[in-house]
Protein backbone atom coordinates (compact mmCIF):
# COMPACT_ATOMS: atom_id res chain seq x y z
CA UNK A 1 0.00 0.00 0.00
CA UNK A 2 1.48 3.36 -0.95
CA UNK A 3 2.13 5.82 1.83
CA UNK A 4 -0.12 8.71 2.85
CA UNK A 5 1.65 11.75 4.28
CA UNK A 6 -0.32 14.14 6.48
CA UNK A 7 1.13 17.63 6.80
CA UNK A 8 -0.31 18.82 10.07
CA UNK A 9 0.17 20.59 13.38
CA UNK A 10 -0.40 18.62 16.59
CA UNK A 11 -3.66 19.72 18.17
CA UNK A 12 -5.39 20.65 14.90
CA UNK A 13 -8.88 19.08 14.95
CA UNK A 14 -9.22 19.03 11.15
CA UNK A 15 -5.87 17.25 10.90
CA UNK A 16 -6.95 14.78 13.56
CA UNK A 17 -10.02 13.87 11.48
CA UNK A 18 -7.75 12.91 8.59
CA UNK A 19 -5.36 10.94 10.80
CA UNK A 20 -8.26 9.16 12.54
CA UNK A 21 -9.74 8.20 9.16
CA UNK A 22 -6.36 6.77 8.12
CA UNK A 23 -6.24 4.81 11.38
CA UNK A 24 -9.78 3.49 10.85
CA UNK A 25 -8.64 2.26 7.42
CA UNK A 26 -5.47 0.66 8.78
CA UNK A 27 -3.54 2.74 6.23
CA UNK A 28 0.18 3.20 5.89
CA UNK A 29 0.57 6.85 6.85
CA UNK A 30 2.98 9.22 8.50
CA UNK A 31 2.96 12.70 9.92
CA UNK A 32 4.95 15.49 8.31
CA UNK A 33 4.80 18.08 11.09
CA UNK A 34 4.21 21.70 10.11
CA UNK A 35 6.07 23.82 12.63
CA UNK A 36 3.91 26.45 14.36
CA UNK A 37 4.55 29.83 12.76
CA UNK A 38 5.49 28.36 9.36
CA UNK A 39 2.02 28.13 7.84
CA UNK A 40 2.73 31.24 5.75
CA UNK A 41 6.16 29.98 4.64
CA UNK A 42 6.66 29.64 0.87
CA UNK A 43 7.08 25.85 1.32
CA UNK A 44 3.74 25.44 3.08
CA UNK A 45 1.91 27.96 0.87
CA UNK A 46 3.05 25.92 -2.14
CA UNK A 47 0.98 23.05 -0.70
CA UNK A 48 -1.84 25.12 0.76
CA UNK A 49 -2.16 28.66 -0.63
CA UNK A 50 -4.56 29.56 2.21
CA UNK A 51 -1.94 28.69 4.80
CA UNK A 52 -3.84 26.07 6.79
CA UNK A 53 -3.61 22.42 7.74
CA UNK A 54 -4.12 19.59 6.98
CA UNK A 55 -2.59 18.80 3.61
CA UNK A 56 -2.54 15.23 2.30
CA UNK A 57 0.22 13.94 0.04
CA UNK A 58 -0.29 10.62 -1.74
CA UNK A 59 1.85 9.35 -4.63
CA UNK A 60 2.80 12.96 -5.41
CA UNK A 61 -0.86 14.06 -5.36
CA UNK A 62 -1.37 17.04 -3.04
CA UNK A 63 -4.80 17.71 -1.58
CA UNK A 64 -6.10 20.19 1.00
CA UNK A 65 -9.59 20.77 2.50
CA UNK A 66 -10.50 18.16 5.07
CA UNK A 67 -13.79 17.08 3.54
CA UNK A 68 -12.12 16.50 0.17
CA UNK A 69 -9.31 14.57 1.87
CA UNK A 70 -11.73 12.39 3.86
CA UNK A 71 -13.74 11.56 0.74
CA UNK A 72 -10.55 10.83 -1.21
CA UNK A 73 -9.40 8.45 1.52
CA UNK A 74 -12.74 6.68 1.56
CA UNK A 75 -12.56 6.17 -2.21
CA UNK A 76 -8.94 5.05 -2.36
CA UNK A 77 -9.17 2.88 0.77
CA UNK A 78 -12.64 1.38 0.45
CA UNK A 79 -12.68 -0.77 3.59
CA UNK A 80 -14.13 -0.24 6.03
CA UNK A 81 -16.53 2.04 4.13
CA UNK A 82 -17.09 5.35 5.90
CA UNK A 83 -19.84 6.63 3.60
CA UNK A 84 -23.43 5.35 3.81
CA UNK A 85 -24.99 3.97 0.64
CA UNK A 86 -28.54 4.90 1.61
CA UNK A 87 -29.37 8.32 0.10
CA UNK A 88 -30.94 9.75 3.25
CA UNK A 89 -28.10 8.62 5.52
CA UNK A 90 -25.59 9.97 3.02
CA UNK A 91 -27.42 13.29 2.99
CA UNK A 92 -27.25 13.39 6.80
CA UNK A 93 -23.53 12.69 6.68
CA UNK A 94 -23.02 15.54 4.21
CA UNK A 95 -25.25 17.85 6.25
CA UNK A 96 -23.39 17.19 9.50
CA UNK A 97 -20.03 17.70 7.78
CA UNK A 98 -21.19 21.10 6.60
CA UNK A 99 -22.57 21.97 10.04
CA UNK A 100 -19.05 21.23 11.29
CA UNK A 101 -17.36 23.53 8.81
CA UNK A 102 -19.89 26.37 8.66
CA UNK A 103 -21.35 26.58 12.16
CA UNK A 104 -19.32 24.54 14.65
CA UNK A 105 -15.89 25.67 13.53
CA UNK A 106 -16.62 29.24 12.40
CA UNK A 107 -17.85 31.42 15.19
CA UNK A 108 -18.03 28.67 17.84
CA UNK A 109 -14.94 26.45 18.08
CA UNK A 110 -12.61 29.03 16.59
CA UNK A 111 -13.75 31.40 19.33
CA UNK A 112 -14.47 29.29 22.42
CA UNK A 113 -11.85 26.56 21.91
CA UNK A 114 -9.31 29.08 20.72
CA UNK A 115 -9.89 31.41 23.68
CA UNK A 116 -10.04 28.66 26.30
CA UNK A 117 -7.62 25.96 25.07
CA UNK A 118 -5.49 26.60 21.98
CA UNK A 119 -4.62 30.27 22.53
CA UNK A 120 -3.65 29.89 26.21
CA UNK A 121 -1.70 26.68 25.52
CA UNK A 122 0.17 27.79 22.41
CA UNK A 123 0.30 31.58 22.68
CA UNK A 124 -0.20 32.27 26.37
CA UNK A 125 -3.26 34.46 25.72
CA UNK A 126 -5.77 35.37 28.42
CA UNK A 127 -9.29 34.28 27.35
CA UNK A 128 -11.49 37.07 25.99
CA UNK A 129 -14.63 36.48 28.08
CA UNK A 130 -16.76 38.86 25.99
CA UNK A 131 -15.89 37.00 22.77
CA UNK A 132 -16.75 33.67 24.43
CA UNK A 133 -20.07 35.02 25.71
CA UNK A 134 -20.92 36.36 22.25
CA UNK A 135 -20.28 32.92 20.73
CA UNK A 136 -22.53 31.05 23.15
CA UNK A 137 -25.91 31.52 21.41
CA UNK A 138 -24.55 30.00 18.19
CA UNK A 139 -22.82 27.27 20.22
CA UNK A 140 -26.11 26.32 21.90
CA UNK A 141 -27.77 26.05 18.50
CA UNK A 142 -24.94 23.94 17.07
CA UNK A 143 -24.94 21.45 19.95
CA UNK A 144 -28.69 21.13 20.16
CA UNK A 145 -28.87 20.59 16.42
CA UNK A 146 -26.13 17.93 16.43
CA UNK A 147 -27.93 16.19 19.32
CA UNK A 148 -31.23 16.35 17.44
CA UNK A 149 -29.71 14.86 14.29
CA UNK A 150 -27.97 12.14 16.30
CA UNK A 151 -31.16 11.25 18.15
CA UNK A 152 -31.05 7.66 19.37
CA UNK A 153 -28.65 6.45 16.67
CA UNK A 154 -25.20 5.15 17.52
CA UNK A 155 -23.54 7.40 14.92
CA UNK A 156 -24.37 10.73 13.31
CA UNK A 157 -25.43 9.21 9.98
CA UNK A 158 -27.08 6.09 11.38
CA UNK A 159 -25.93 2.65 12.45
CA UNK A 160 -22.36 2.83 11.20
CA UNK A 161 -19.38 5.10 11.71
CA UNK A 162 -19.09 7.63 8.88
CA UNK A 163 -16.89 10.52 7.82
CA UNK A 164 -19.26 12.82 9.72
CA UNK A 165 -18.35 11.26 13.08
CA UNK A 166 -14.65 11.49 12.30
CA UNK A 167 -14.92 15.12 11.21
CA UNK A 168 -16.99 16.32 14.16
CA UNK A 169 -15.56 14.35 17.11
CA UNK A 170 -12.09 15.97 17.16
CA UNK A 171 -13.67 19.43 17.22
CA UNK A 172 -16.14 18.62 19.99
CA UNK A 173 -13.52 16.87 22.15
CA UNK A 174 -11.88 20.25 22.73
CA UNK A 175 -15.05 21.64 24.29
CA UNK A 176 -14.85 19.11 27.12
CA UNK A 177 -11.78 21.02 28.33
CA UNK A 178 -13.76 24.28 28.61
CA UNK A 179 -16.05 25.44 31.43
CA UNK A 180 -18.69 26.12 28.75
CA UNK A 181 -19.06 22.36 28.17
CA UNK A 182 -21.02 22.05 31.43
CA UNK A 183 -23.73 24.17 29.82
CA UNK A 184 -23.34 23.10 26.19
CA UNK A 185 -23.07 19.35 26.72
CA UNK A 186 -25.27 18.82 29.77
CA UNK A 187 -28.65 18.99 28.00
CA UNK A 188 -27.54 16.45 25.38
CA UNK A 189 -26.83 13.09 27.04
CA UNK A 190 -26.94 11.33 23.66
CA UNK A 191 -24.18 13.58 22.28
CA UNK A 192 -22.06 13.18 25.42
CA UNK A 193 -22.42 9.38 25.18
CA UNK A 194 -21.57 9.44 21.45
CA UNK A 195 -18.44 11.49 22.19
CA UNK A 196 -17.36 8.98 24.85
CA UNK A 197 -17.83 6.15 22.33
CA UNK A 198 -15.82 8.06 19.74
CA UNK A 199 -13.01 8.87 22.19
CA UNK A 200 -12.78 5.18 23.09
CA UNK A 201 -12.05 4.19 19.49
CA UNK A 202 -8.42 3.21 18.80
CA UNK A 203 -8.34 5.71 15.91
CA UNK A 204 -9.11 8.58 18.27
CA UNK A 205 -6.73 7.33 20.97
CA UNK A 206 -3.95 7.13 18.36
CA UNK A 207 -4.46 10.76 17.32
CA UNK A 208 -4.72 12.76 20.54
CA UNK A 209 -2.82 16.05 20.76
CA UNK A 210 -0.26 14.33 23.01
CA UNK A 211 0.16 11.32 20.71
CA UNK A 212 0.54 13.48 17.59
CA UNK A 213 3.04 15.68 19.43
CA UNK A 214 5.11 12.54 20.06
CA UNK A 215 4.86 11.62 16.36
CA UNK A 216 5.97 15.15 15.47
CA UNK A 217 9.03 14.90 17.73
CA UNK A 218 9.96 11.54 16.24
CA UNK A 219 9.50 12.69 12.61
N1 LIG B 1 -11.44 24.45 5.46
C2 LIG B 1 -10.19 23.92 6.00
C3 LIG B 1 -10.00 24.47 7.40
C4 LIG B 1 -8.67 24.03 7.97
C5 LIG B 1 -8.31 24.86 9.18
O6 LIG B 1 -8.90 25.93 9.45
N7 LIG B 1 -7.30 24.40 9.88
C8 LIG B 1 -6.83 25.12 11.03
C9 LIG B 1 -6.27 24.15 12.06
S10 LIG B 1 -7.50 23.02 12.63
C11 LIG B 1 -5.70 26.01 10.61
O12 LIG B 1 -4.91 25.63 9.77
N13 LIG B 1 -5.61 27.20 11.20
C14 LIG B 1 -4.51 28.06 10.94
C15 LIG B 1 -4.88 29.49 10.77
O16 LIG B 1 -6.07 29.81 10.89
O17 LIG B 1 -4.00 30.29 10.49
C18 LIG B 1 -10.25 22.39 5.99
O19 LIG B 1 -11.36 21.83 5.99
O20 LIG B 1 -9.21 21.76 5.93
Separation of alpha carbons 75 and 79, rounded Å: 9
**Is the CB of 66 inside a 6 Å radius of any atom of ligand 1?**
yes
| Tally of CB atoms within 10 A around 209 | 18
Atom 13 of ligand 1: nearest residue by CA position: 52
Question: Of all atoms in ligand 1, which is nearest to the CA of residue 39?
Answer: 17
Mean pLDDT of 178-184: 96
pLDDT of 1 reads: 73
| 39: pLDDT strictly greater than 80 | yes
Sign of CA dihedral 85, 155, 97, 203: negative
**Is the CB of 122 inside a 6 Å radius of any atom of ligand 1?**
no
The pTM of the full predicted model, rounded to 2 decimals, is: 0.97
State how far Cα 129 lies from the chain centre: 24
Separation of alpha carbons 200 and 51, rounded Å: 32
CA distances from 151 to 133, 146, 156, 182 (A): 27, 9, 8, 20
**Is the CB of 65 inside a 6 Å radius of any atom of ligand 1?**
yes
| 184: pLDDT strictly greater than 90 | yes
DSSP single-letter state for residue 155:
B
Question: Of all atoms in ligand 1, which is nearest to the CA of residue 12?
Answer: 10
* Percent of the chain predicted with pLDDT > 70: 100
Strands 61-64 and 4-8, by their bridges, are unpaired
Mean pLDDT of 132-139: 98
| 89: pLDDT strictly greater than 80 | yes
Amino acid sequence: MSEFIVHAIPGSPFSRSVMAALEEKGANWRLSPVAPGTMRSPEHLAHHPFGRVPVLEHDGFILYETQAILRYLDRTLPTPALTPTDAKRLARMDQVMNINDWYLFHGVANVIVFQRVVGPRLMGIIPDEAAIEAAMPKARTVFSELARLLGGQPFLAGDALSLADLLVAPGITFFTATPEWAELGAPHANLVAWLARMEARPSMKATTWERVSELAKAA
